[in-house]
Amino acid sequence: MINSLMISKTGMQAQQTQLDVISNNLANVSTNGFKRATAVFEDLMYQNLRQVGANTAEQAELPTGLQVGLGVRTVATSRNFTQGSLQQSGNALDLAVNGGGFFQVQMPDGTTGYTRDGSFQLDAQGRMVTSSGYPLTAGITLPAESQSITVSSDGVVTAKLPGNPVPQQVGNIELANFINSAGLEPLGQNLFAESLASGNPITGAPGSAGLGTVMQGMVETSNVNVVQELVTMIQTQRAYEMNSKAIQTSDQMLQRLSQL
């Protein structure tokens, strides 16, 4: 009887975590390059009250045992890196990866961050930077007199300068991919960091080595499906209510037992 109270408590905690994950997904439904997450659960250890296969008599074995579970716990949040929709923006500095791969940006501590958000801007030095001001690791800087910028599908960046009919190449954008993208560590600000679980980055020009191509004037939207999240939210609410009801039922049974 007491076990049921603790088991239902773990169920309520698990569903609360699930709701937290859903809330974060819905909050970032309009975030460029955001990848939805799901909570992953596992059952806790079991009380083995009767061993399966134990002898009950001579040449007789139990076909089933008696194990009582002790609840559930959250073990991970799995991130879904499926492609988001590509939306045309008309901004020449907006880039989207069509396929696998991440843009590489230089972090303040010298490490490399990885992002699917290609809504770049120019800083005071003419460098291509993220919305948070982190420059691309390729160090692409546009001349101050640039009239226009073109980014090819394989990452070659050219700028048109006054008095010169031939565009000048100013840099190359390289993408990075990982064997286990779900193992990347989220840093916030639409950035991820390499981890032991993700493996080492595989870098190269867009369109090569399984990497996606770069599309100029477009941004990748979030891959959150609002309808799916709302359905999951309703399921989570019902599961939370059922666990709460189990606690109330256990309490009522204990009260009845104490009256005997």
Residues 28 and 127 in one domain: no
Residues 74 and 11 in one domain: yes
Residues 214 and 228 in one domain: no
Residues 104 and 199 in one domain: yes
Residues 91 and 198 in one domain: yes
List the structure tokens of 164.
Answer: 């010169």
> Looking at residue 1, what is its pLDDT?
57
Residues 143 and 92 in one domain: yes
**pLDDT range class, residue 101, cuts 50, 70, 90:** very high
As a whole number of angstroms, the distance between CA 169 and CA 87 comes to: 26
As a whole number of angstroms, the distance between CA 132 and CA 146 comes to: 23
Q: Is 6 helix (H, G, I), strand (E, B) or coil?
A: helix
Using DSSP bridges, classify how beta strands 121-122 and 128-129 pair: parallel, antiparallel or unpaired: antiparallel
pLDDT digits (tens, 9 = 90+) for 16-47: 999 999 999 999 999 999 999 999 999 988 88
Residues 210 and 230 in one domain: no
Q: What residues make up the domain containing 67?
A: 2-81+224-258
61 pLDDT more than 90: no
DSSP secondary structure letters along 124-158: TTSBEE-TTSPBBTT--B--TT--EEEE-TT-EEE
Mean pLDDT for 66-93 is: 91
pLDDT digits (tens, 9 = 90+) for 182-215: 999 999 999 999 999 999 999 999 998 889 999 9
Task: Name the nearest CA neighbour of 170 among 191, 155, 188.
Answer: 155
Residues 11 and 113 in one domain: no
Per the structure, how many domains does the chain have? Answer: 2
Residues 239 and 184 in one domain: no
Residues 160/167, Cβ–Cβ less than 8 Å = yes
Residues 34 and 116 in one domain: no
Residues 19 and 131 in one domain: no
Residues 118 and 195 in one domain: yes
